């Protein structure tokens, strides 16, 4: 499997300017039909994807409802979002997350198996949950059954059972999944980045610990649920084989009367803390995990599209600079994941990979060199154009399923953007100049807020780092990341 690099907002393929076709060796040339492929076929440039603009309606109480009719398959998707999540306004984050795990257990006073079977009989799949910034109740069902499906899901979301046995199970699953988090490379890397980037008290500095979940009770669930219903501003998105007139009565019946007005809040950027190299010791880890974390613009900002294109061409998919180097030229990594994590208020750009512990120094050198090469070898026009086309492809691919289309539109609706946002975003990519992307690269390489994190068995990793001239500024133990915060949590070792 060739692994696809990931970006939260941006993903795709890009690459430097096209190379001239190589001359095939004479023996091969003789085997090829005369002239066959001597010049690669031309490519007709794609344009922005034709993302539809939803029709905007409202329930009688003012709740906005965006509707996109699509009649190619007999399916309907209805997504309901409330602008209140475990990070933003639901009170105790652990309780809100456990609540999210039990919302799908059906409505109060109803047999959960019968409730699920009723959904099953419609061919419906429901997804109820609580995220960092919002809670949701989504259902996708066979056309003609959307009214019943909406009613079933709304009952469970608005008046959930919150049974003790469901709580016990969800609590135990959450506890168990975090009980040994300090032994798992991916969890440790995530915790280390939270600790490295955000100061104590920042919402994103939070590291989940098993004990936070262990103490959640039913009263906590009820409080979190009340907060979400009372505070989160509702919005509804309907896509698929239905019409506003068809679905409206069910929506009025099921979802009107939600009083919340809160939308997802702004999250402040972390204060500048200077560049750092952090080694996290995780004894016994057989691979080393590496991360590079850098500042990025916040969601919906005018600066973001240029950084998305930069992220794409530098650490996007197989043709990106970093993947070509680490995977295709050096064979150091199976792949590189680039991830832009953006919120209203600020964003971060994280690039992660895993390598053999003995190759950590070589991999860091390669990543470091490629990062600073952005200053010496700024993105070329052709690279920017390739990244732009990748964005167009993503926009077009999102039209391929109700779920992906709803995701693209639903983010804009839930964050209070106009209905034209997703369509216009494609135009924004079209309008970003290559110079704007180069300027973004200059800002990035001039930033002194780059954080490097290495998670691995110190016994294996440290010699490889030393051999390559890397000296950690801080050394943490994995267990320490999950301990109760203390005044002096880490040990400064030396300045790089």
Partner 1 sequence: MKDGVRGWVPRLLLLVGLGPATPAAGGAEPAPDLDAAAAGAIDLEVRAARLANGLRVFVHEDHDAPLVALELRYAVGSADEPPEANGVAHLLEHLASSGSARAPSGAYDRWLGEAGAENNAWTDHDATAFTVTAPRGALDLALFLEADRMGWLDAGVDDRAVAVQRRVVARERAEAEATAHGMDFAAINAAVFPPGHPYHRPVDGAKADVARLDRAAVLDFHRRWYGPGNAVLVVAGDVDAEEALAAARRWFGPVPAGPAPDRAEVPPVERAAVPRAMITGAGEGVTLYAAWPTVPRGHPDEAPLDLLAGVLASGRDGRLDRELLGRRVDRVRAWTDNDRLGGLFVVEAHAPRLSPDRLARLLDRRLAELARRPPTEAEVRVGRRRWQGWALRAMEPLESQAAAVAECALAGRSPDCAAEELRRHLAVTPADLARVAARYLDPDRRALVAVIAPDRPPLRDAVELEIP
How far the first Cα of the chain sits from its last, in Å, is 38
Instruction: Kindly state the smallest distance separating residue 43's Cβ from partner 1, in Å.
Output: 4
Q: Kindly identify the residues of this chain, within the stretch 161-220, that bind partner 1 according to CB under 8 A.
A: 165, 168-169, 172-173, 176-177, 179-180, 184-185
> What is d(CA 61, CA 358) in angstroms, rounded to the nearest whole number?
62
User: Which residues does 114 contact at the CB level (< 8 Å), separation at least 6?
Assistant: none
Q: Kindly identify the residues of this chain, within the stretch 43-62, that bind partner 1 according to CB under 8 A.
A: 43-47, 49-50
Asked whether 66 and 416 are in contact (CB, 8 A), the reply is no
257 to 286: interface string for partner 1, x by CB under 8 A: ----------------------------xx
Of the candidate residues 262, 356, 468, 479, the single one contacting partner 1 (CB under 8 A): 356
- Nearest 5°: phi and psi at 137? -140, 100
Look up residue 330 and give its DSSP letter: S
Stretch binding partner 1 (CB under 8 A), from 40-48, 60-68, 221-229, 336-344: 40-48
Instruction: Kindly state the smallest distance separating residue 190's Cβ from partner 1, in Å.
Output: 15
120 binds partner 1, rule: CB under 8 A: yes
Nearer Cβ to partner 1, position 179 or 417?
A: 179
- Nearest 5°: phi and psi at 165? -65, -35
Nearer Cβ to partner 1, position 197 or 405?
A: 405
> What is d(CA 452, CA 450) in angstroms, rounded to the nearest whole number?
7
Q: Position of tokens 């939803």?
A: 54
Stretch binding partner 1 (CB under 8 A), from 86-94, 122-130, 256-264, 290-298: 122-130
Segment holding 130, helix H or strand E: strand 125-130
412 to 451: interface string for partner 1, x by CB under 8 A: ----------------------------------------
Instruction: Kindly state the smallest distance separating residue 478's Cβ from partner 1, in Å.
Output: 14
> What is d(CA 200, CA 458) in angstroms, rounded to the nearest whole number?
26
285 to 304: interface string for partner 1, x by CB under 8 A: xxx-----------------
Of the candidate residues 63, 145, 242, 408, the single one contacting partner 1 (CB under 8 A): 145
109 binds partner 1, rule: CB under 8 A: no
Q: Kindly identify the residues of this chain, within the stretch 68-87, that bind partner 1 according to CB under 8 A.
A: 72-75
- When computed from its CA atoms, the radius of gyration of the chain, rounded to whole angstroms, is 25
Strands 491-492 and 346-355: unpaired
- Nearest 5°: phi and psi at 321? -55, -45
DSSP track, 328-351: IIS---S--EEEEEEETTEEEEEE
30 binds partner 1, rule: CB under 8 A: no
């Amino acid at each position: 499997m060739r692994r696809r690099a990931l970006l939260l907002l941006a993903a795709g393929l890009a690459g430097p300017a096209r190379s001239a076709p190589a001359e095939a060796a004479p023996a091969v040339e003789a085997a090829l039909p005369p002239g066959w492929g001597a010049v690669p076929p031309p490519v007709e440039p794609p344009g922005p994807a034709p993302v539809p603009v939803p029709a905007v309606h409202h329930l009688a109480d003012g709740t906005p409802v965006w509707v996109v009719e699509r009649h190619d398959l007999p399916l309907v998707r209805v997504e309901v979002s409330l602008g209140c999540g475990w990070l933003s306004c639901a009170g105790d984050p652990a309780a809100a997350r456990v609540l999210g795990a039990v919302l799908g257990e059906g409505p109060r006073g109803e047999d959960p198996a019968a409730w699920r079977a009723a959904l099953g009989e419609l061919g419906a799949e429901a997804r109820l949950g609580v995220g960092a910034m919002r809670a949701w109740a989504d259902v996708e069902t066979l056309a003609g059954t959307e009214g019943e499906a909406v009613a079933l899901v709304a009952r469970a979301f608005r008046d959930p059972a919150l049974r003790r046995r469901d709580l016990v199970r969800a609590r135990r699953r959450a506890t168990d999944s975090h009980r040994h988090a300090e032994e798992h490379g991916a969890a440790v890397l995530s915790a280390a980045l939270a600790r490295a980037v955000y100061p104590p008290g920042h919402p994103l500095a939070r590291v989940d610990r098993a004990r936070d979940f262990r103490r959640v009770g039913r009263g906590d669930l009820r409080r979190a649920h009340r907060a979400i219903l009372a505070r989160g501003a509702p919005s509804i998105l309907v896509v698929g084989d239905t019409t506003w007139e068809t679905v409206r009565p069910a929506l009025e019946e099921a979802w009107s009367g939600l009083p919340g007005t809160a939308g997802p809040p702004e999250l402040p950027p972390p204060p500048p803390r200077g560049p750092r190299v952090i080694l996290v010791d995780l004894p016994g880890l057989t691979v080393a995990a590496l991360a590079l974390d850098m500042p990025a613009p916040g969601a919906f900002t005018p600066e973001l599209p240029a950084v998305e294109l930069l992220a794409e061409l530098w650490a996007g998919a197989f043709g990106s600079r970093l993947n070509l180097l680490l995977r295709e030229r050096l064979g150091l990594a199976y792949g590189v994941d680039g991830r832009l994590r953006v919120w209203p208020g600020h964003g971060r750009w994280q690039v992660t990979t895993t390598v053999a512990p003995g190759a950590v120094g070589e991999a860091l050198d390669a990543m470091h060199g490629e990062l600073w090469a952005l200053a010496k070898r700024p993105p070329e026009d052709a690279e920017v154009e390739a990244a732009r086309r990748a964005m167009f492809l993503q926009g077009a691919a999102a039209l391929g399923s109700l779920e992906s289309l709803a995701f693209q539109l639903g983010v804009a609706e839930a964050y209070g953007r106009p209905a034209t946002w997703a369509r216009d975003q494609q135009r924004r990519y079209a309008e970003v100049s290559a110079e704007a992307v180069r300027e973004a690269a200059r800002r990035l390489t001039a930033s002194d807020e780059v954080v490097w994190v290495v998670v691995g068995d110190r016994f294996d990793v440290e010699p490889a780092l030393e051999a390559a001239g890397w000296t950690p500024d801080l050394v943490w133990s994995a267990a320490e990341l999950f301990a109760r915060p203390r005044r002096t949590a880490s040990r400064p070792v030396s300045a790089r």
